Amino acid sequence: MRLAKRNRAHGGKQPARVHPAAGGVYKTAREVRLQLRKLLSRAAIFLTLIAEATLASFKCPTAWVDIGDTVEQVLHKCGEPDQYETRIGNLVATFVPGVGDVQMDSILVEEYLYDFGELRYMRFLHFEDGKLMYIKELGYGGKNAQ
C-alpha cells in the first residue's frame, strides 16, 4: 500500500538516487538505466579498440623485445620468425634546414610473424630501416608448443 502511494506521488516514477553533487540531478530509474546502457556500449567499443592496440614490448623465450630494438637483437632474442616479408617502403620526405631542399628517401620495411604455439599469442613485428617500430598482438598461435 505504501509503495503504491509513493509511486503516485511521483507520477508513477520512482526517483533514482543520483546525488546532484555527483554531477547529476535526481533522475528516474529508467533514465539511469538508459545512461548506463550508453556507458556500457561505449566501454565495449573502447575495449575492442584496446584489443587492437600495439604493444611496447613482449617476452620471447629467452629475453624481452622492446620497441627500438634492431633486427639483429630481435633475431638473437627470438630466433628466426615463422613468416617474414621484406619490401621497400614509401618515400620519406626530409626537409634540410638552411638549404631549403627536401631530400627524398625510401625505407626498408621488414615484417615478422612469431607463432609461439597454441597456448600463447602470436606477435607481428614491424621494422623500418632495421629498427622495431611497433608490435601487434594477434590471436593464439596455431603450431604445437615446443
Q: Where are the domains of the chain?
A: 2-51, 54-140
Per DSSP, helices labelled H in 10-64 are 29-51
For 92, the enclosing helix (H) or strand (E) is strand 83-95
What is the distance between the alpha carbons of residues 117 and 107, in angstroms, rounded to a whole number? 32
**Using an 8 Å Cβ cutoff, are 144 and 129 in contact?**
no
Residue range 87-110: mean pLDDT, rounded: 75
pLDDT of residue 14: 54
* Least confident window among 31-35, 38-42, 81-85, 101-105: 101-105
At which residue does the C-alpha cell 626530409 appear? 94
- Who has greater pLDDT, 66 or 61? 66
- Domain 54-140 annotated CATH 3.30.1450: yes
- Who has greater pLDDT, 140 or 24? 140
Q: Is 28 exposed, middle or buried (0-12, 13-18, 19+ CB in 10 A)?
A: middle
pLDDT of residue 38: 79
Whether residue 117 is predicted with pLDDT greater than 90 in this model: the reply is no
pLDDT of residue 55: 74
**Using an 8 Å Cβ cutoff, are 105 and 94 in contact?**
yes
